[in-house]
Amino acid sequence: MLVWTRTSRSVLVVLFVVVFGVIVVAPLAVIGLAAVAASWRGVLPGGLTGAHLAAATGGDALASALVSVQTALIASAGSVLLGGWAAFALHGSRGRIRRLADGLLHLPMAVPSVVVGLGLLVAFSHPPLLLNGTRWIVLIAHLVLVLPFSYSTVSAALERADPDIALVAACLGASPARVLLTVRLPLALPALAASAGLALALSMGELGATIMLYPPDWRTLPVGIFAQSDRGALFAASASTVVLLGLTLVGLLALNSVRTRAAER
Amino acid sequence: MSVEAVTGAAQESPAVPAGTAPAAPARGTGRRAALWALPPLIVVADFFCYPLALVVAQSFIAETGGPTLAVWADVVTSPEFGAGVARTVLIAVGAAAGCALIGTFLALVVSFAPFPGVRLVSGLVAVLPAVPGFLIVLSFTFLYGSAGALNALLGGSLDFLYTPWGVLLAEITLFTPFVMRPLVAAFGQIPRARLDVAASLGARPWRVLWQVVLPEVRPALAAATCLVLLMAANEFGIVLFIGAKDVVTLPVLVYTWGIVTFDYPAACVVAVVNVVLSLLLYGVYRWVLSGRGKRRARVDED
């Protein structure tokens, strides 16, 4: 191994704890603390209160949270459907057309979300397809932004999968449709669940495109948090962020249980 | 979001070296596959490619409707634009370097000097990409803001949050897991015997690290660093939430000119420049991922 002596190992671990603590643990812990802090002028918050969290789960904040959840569910479902579809359709093919399609499907990953938002504004602000000012434009933006990740997750899993199982099924006389429905899709279920989770988490936290596009009646939680932070309501913003994280976590855990159950079979 | 949270997807690719994937069943030609893939491709073309093309076109159209280069000339010579390009590039390079350094260190300790609680660390690192960037800024306000915990502790007036350093630190915090996770995976694939042999031949730990361990993970580190470069160049939430007047990057400039001042053509020019920069970085990332990864795999087979 690389580290031989007890001292050097302890030094390394202490250094690790400090760096990891400052970089990863502190920001998460502080958001949690700020969400329940009555005030914060010293090193530690002065007194705890549940008022911010209560406010973040009612009224306007609750409406924003519901909008975010709906947006994320729709975007995630759409992207798993379309991304999974593309991954299955392109799986096993080679050559220039495949590379082109692959590149096209990955492309939105490389473009800043703000630019995706600006593009949708420029393209759909006038007839024939007037989407600006409706919630559809937000849903489309989220779908476009998370689709590459869903596609990429499912596609990578298909590349790794054992091709023999589907081949055996086909040799035993199963039609391509039957192989797809009874063999390849069930085998890919863990990857589909993983891609749904990824899309859900990305959509819940999306800010760049949404802030360019959102109509007044479809304001997502991150946009609401920006409004709070912008007017200096930092405790309220922290509480809303904790709600956002909690909702994301619930979704991820639910999808994770689907994944483990599918993997066990 | 932008590419704010490229998680599993992007990280799984290095684990699958191109060319070593099992041969998939021959399912018709590429053309038939592309035909089946048409529905999702049409969605991408309609709602991504077409709007992007319009953004490019809009940047060349005058208010009277004729073609013009005037908008470009105006924007490119404006001081905000120049400062924005410089800030974007500097912050991205700084964030990539910082993440590469810190991520490598963290991954090294997790892989080669594991301690009780290392599973908890991996769990936290796995969840972190689901965290939106603005969370980091909010917590930094409480930690490092002028009335924050650190200033209360030091009794001084440390005020770096609303400078480029604040953005840099926030982005390093956000993106370090994207270096750490693939590196932990890559370190795990190095046979321990190889390290022991090097050590038993008399190489000091530093030399083993430099000459055996790091060369082995160089492709993974290069790919992860490129990815951070791309994500940092596209980062929006952190810069917006920090909201310092003199820390404006290209994505924030697109937002400010497009939404706050409603100057669509100017915003489109900035967007085009930003997209070109991002695609360049993305091209390098894909090239590192495939080309160098492939070469590495071939060397291993020899």
Which structural domain range is residue B89 located in? 62-301
Of B26, B55, B205, the CB nearest to A4: B205
Residue A172 CA to chain centroid, in angstroms? 40
Task: List C-alpha distances in Å: B90 to B82, B233, B263.
Answer: 12, 9, 26
- Count the neighbouring beta carbons within 10 Å of the beta carbon of residue B297: 14
CB B141 within 8 A of CB B161: yes
- Count of CB contacts below 8 A, A vs B? 346
Tell me, what CATH number does B180's domain have? 1.10.3720.10
Quick one: pLDDT at residue A2? 67
Domain count for chain B: 1
Quick one: pLDDT at residue B112? 86
Q: Per-residue pLDDT for A32 more than 50?
A: yes
Q: Per-residue pLDDT for B3 more than 70?
A: no
Question: Confidence class of residue A4 from pLDDT cuts 50, 70 and 90?
Answer: low
Domain assignment of residue B34, yes or no: no
Listed residue (B260, B268, B109, B133) closest to B187, CA to CA: B109
CB B113 within 8 A of CB A2: yes
Listed residue (A197, A190, A192) closest to A73, CA to CA: A197
Domain assignment of residue B3, yes or no: no
Q: Whole-angstrom Cα distance, residue A170 to residue B78?
A: 64
Domain assignment of residue B1, yes or no: no
- What average pLDDT does range A10-18 have in this prediction? 90
Which of A36-45, A65-74, A118-127, B80-89 has the weakest average pLDDT?
A: A36-45
Quick one: pLDDT at residue B5? 41
Residues of chain B found within 8 Å of residue A94, distances taken between Cβ atoms: 30
CB B206 within 8 A of CB B225: no
Query: A6 or B57: whose pLDDT is higher?
Result: B57
Residues of chain A found within 8 Å of residue B213, distances taken between Cβ atoms: 2
The count of C-alpha atoms lying within 13 angstroms of the C-alpha of B233, restricted to the half-sphere facing its C-beta, is: 24
Quick one: pLDDT at residue B19? 41
Which of A93-97, A142-146, A147-151, B165-169 has the weakest average pLDDT?
A: A93-97
Q: What is the gyration radius of the CA atoms in chain A, in angstroms?
A: 23
Domain assignment of residue B70, yes or no: yes
Q: What is the pLDDT of residues B261-277, one digit of tens each?
A: 888 889 999 999 999 99
Q: What is the pLDDT of residues A178-227, one digit of tens each?
A: 888 888 888 888 899 989 999 999 999 999 999 999 999 999 999 999 99
Give the closest-approach CA distance of A211 to chain B in angstroms: 8
List of residues 6+ apart from B61 with CB closer than 8 A: B67, B68, B71, B265
Listed residue (B57, B16, B75) closest to B293, CA to CA: B16
Q: Per-residue pLDDT for B25 more than 50?
A: no
Listed residue (A110, A127, A133) closest to A217, CA to CA: A133
Mean pLDDT of chain A: 88
Q: Per-residue pLDDT for B291 more than 70?
A: no
Q: Tell the CATH superfamily of the A50-264 domain.
A: MetI-like (1.10.3720.10)
CB B223 within 8 A of CB B294: no
Q: What is the pLDDT of residues B92-106, one digit of tens each?
A: 999 999 999 999 999
Beta strands in A33-112 (DSSP E): none
Quick one: pLDDT at residue A83? 94
Domain assignment of residue B57, yes or no: no
Residues of chain B found within 8 Å of residue A102, distances taken between Cβ atoms: none
Asked if A110's CB is within 8 angstroms of B271's CB, the reply is no
ipTM of the assembly? 0.87
Of A20, A83, A114, the CB nearest to B236: A114
Q: Whole-angstrom Cα distance, residue B288 to residue B228?
A: 13
Quick one: pLDDT at residue B18? 41
Q: Catalogue the long-range contacts made by A9-12 (C-beta closer than 8 Å, 24 or more residues apart).
A: A9/B113, A12/B109, A12/B113
Beta strands in B172-299 (DSSP E): none
Q: Whole-angstrom Cα distance, residue B53 to residue B41?
A: 16
